[in-house]
């Protein structure tokens, strides 16, 4: 179908493009270029002056053992959250896809957590797992685990993974459910007649047919954990204890906002920006190829 519109003057099309361009430039290109410029500058201790230092900020950054630790933390954090949230939401979606009494209610309820703001989600989880006042901390202690996410880095990470996963399940669930509903029923029925039990059917038919959705979600989830978990981390652990739950994004905030190292923080932002661009490029490349069929 021909979708080209013909404009008689040159001004109108540019005028129509203007709002979108303005938004993109003001809220993306301008801050991004500011960050890139900032990453080449170094300020004095009082923020009175700054000088151009080239790649000095990057060099210093890659000399910091904390930066590598934040990288490892981020990788652990994002792998677990992506894995758990994808697995849980896939399980929930396959169950919700069945013809159940009240199925619509389950679906709606499963989508709700996505509407909760990250910081509020973090606070909710603290209420449950706070070492002294958490409602669920007591039963955990009763079974003999010295639960303390305030002091124990592993416990803090577990708590973060749980809350970030919980937050992301709804989103993945929606996509998986849509993906499942797009699979023709007769294909599943044909497989059933072909002697394939429910589990075998899932792994040989449904899961491969969902792979475009799964791949898309893996990328989206990694981006989510890299960037959008800031609120949860800030509310639950504040990057602690002793920096053990500081991810790359949280470190940008901690170094720049709390540490006052604007140049170093900007350099980290630029690196993160490159990571996102790379992830998005991979995603487009594969989504366009439809992954497998």
Partner 1 sequence: MAGVTLDTVRKIYAGNVEAVKGVSLGIKDGSFCVLVGPSGCGKSTLLRMIAGLETISGGAVKIGDRVVNEVEPSDRDIAMVFQNYALYPHMSVYDNMAYGLKNRGTPKPEIEKRVKEAARILAIENFLERKPRQLSGGQRQRVAMGRAIVRKPQVFLFDEPLSNLDAKLRVQMRVEIKRLQRALGVTSIYVTHDQVEAMTLSDQLVVMSGGQIEQVGTPSEVYRRPETRFVATFIGSPPMNILPGKVEGPGRVSVGGQIIAVTDMRDGLAPGTAIEVGLRPEDVQAGTAGASALTMDVDFVEELGATQLFHGKVAGADFVVQASTGQIAADAKSLTLTVEPGNVHLFDPQTTKRLGRV
- What does the binding site for partner 1 look like in residue numbers (CB under 8 A)? 184, 186-187, 189-197, 200, 204-205, 208-209, 211, 292-293
List residues bridging with 42 in a β-sheet: 51
Give the shortest CB-266-to-partner 1 separation in angstroms. Answer: 45
Tokens 């919700």 -> residue: 96
CB of 212 to partner 1, least distance (A): 10
Taking the CA of residue 112 as centre, how many other CA atoms within 13 Å lie in the half-sphere pointing to its CB? 7
CB closer to partner 1 out of 135 and 204: 204
Please, which residue, 212 or 239, has the CB nearer to partner 1? 212
CA distance 255 to 29: 23
Tell me if 277 sits within 8 A of 100, measured CB to CB. Answer: no
Closer CB to partner 1, 4 or 101, in the complex? 101
Least distance between partner 1 and beta carbon 201 (Å)? 9
Q: Give the shortest CB-83-to-partner 1 separation in angstroms.
A: 23
Helix ranges (DSSP H) in the chain: 11-24, 30-38, 56-63, 65-96, 103-111, 118-129, 137-142, 153-181, 185-193, 198-201, 207-223, 230-236, 248-253, 262-288
End-to-end CA distance of the chain: give it in Å, rounded. Answer: 25
Q: Which residues of 89-106 are buried (b: 16+ CB within 10 A; e: fewer)?
A: bbebbbebbeeeeeeeee
Any idea which residue has 């023709």 for tokens? Answer: 184
CB-nearer residue toward partner 1: 19 or 197: 197
**Least distance in Å: CB of 185 to partner 1?**
9
Least distance from C-beta 88 to partner 1, angstroms? 24
Query: Which is closer to partner 1, CB of 208 or CB of 240?
Result: 208
CB 232, min distance to partner 1, A: 37
DSSP structure string for 159-201: HHHHHHHHHHHHHHHHHHHHHHHTS-HHHHHHHHHTT--HHHH
At a CB cut-off of 8 Å and minimum separation 6, what does 85 contact? 164, 165, 168, 169, 172, 221
């Amino acid at each position: 179908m021909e979708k080209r519109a013909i404009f008689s003057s040159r001004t109108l099309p540019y005028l129509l493009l203007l709002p979108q361009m303005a938004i993109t430039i003001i809220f993306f290109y301008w801050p991004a270029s500011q960050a890139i410029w900032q990453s080449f500058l170094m300020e004095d201790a009082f923020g009175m002056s700054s000088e151009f230092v080239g790649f000095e900020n990057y060099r210093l950054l890659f000399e910091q053992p904390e930066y590598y630790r934040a990288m490892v933390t981020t990788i652990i954090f994002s792998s677990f959250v992506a894995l758990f949230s994808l697995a849980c939401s896939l399980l929930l979606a396959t169950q919700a896809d069945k013809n159940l009494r009240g199925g619509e209610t389950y679906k709606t309820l499963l989508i709700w957590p996505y509407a909760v703001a990250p910081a509020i989600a973090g606070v909710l989880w603290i209420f449950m797992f706070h070492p002294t006042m958490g409602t669920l901390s007591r039963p955990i202690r009763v079974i003999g685990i010295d639960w303390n996410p305030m002091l124990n880095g592993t416990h803090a990470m577990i708590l973060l993974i749980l809350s970030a996963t919980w937050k992301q399940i709804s989103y993945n669930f929606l996509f998986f459910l849509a993906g499942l509903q797009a699979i023709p029923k007769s294909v599943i029925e044909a497989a059933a007649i072909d002697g394939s039990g429910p589990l075998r059917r899932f792994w040989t038919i449904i899961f491969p047919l969902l792979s475009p959705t799964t791949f898309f979600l893996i990328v989206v989830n990694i981006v989510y954990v890299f960037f959008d978990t800031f609120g949860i981390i800030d509310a639950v652990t504040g990057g602690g204890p002793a920096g053990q739950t500081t991810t790359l994004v949280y470190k940008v905030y901690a170094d720049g906002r709390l540490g006052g190292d604007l140049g170093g923080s900007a350099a980290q932002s630029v690196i993160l920006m490159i990571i996102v661009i790379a992830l998005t490029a991979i995603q487009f490349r594969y989504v366009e190829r439809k992954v497998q069929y």
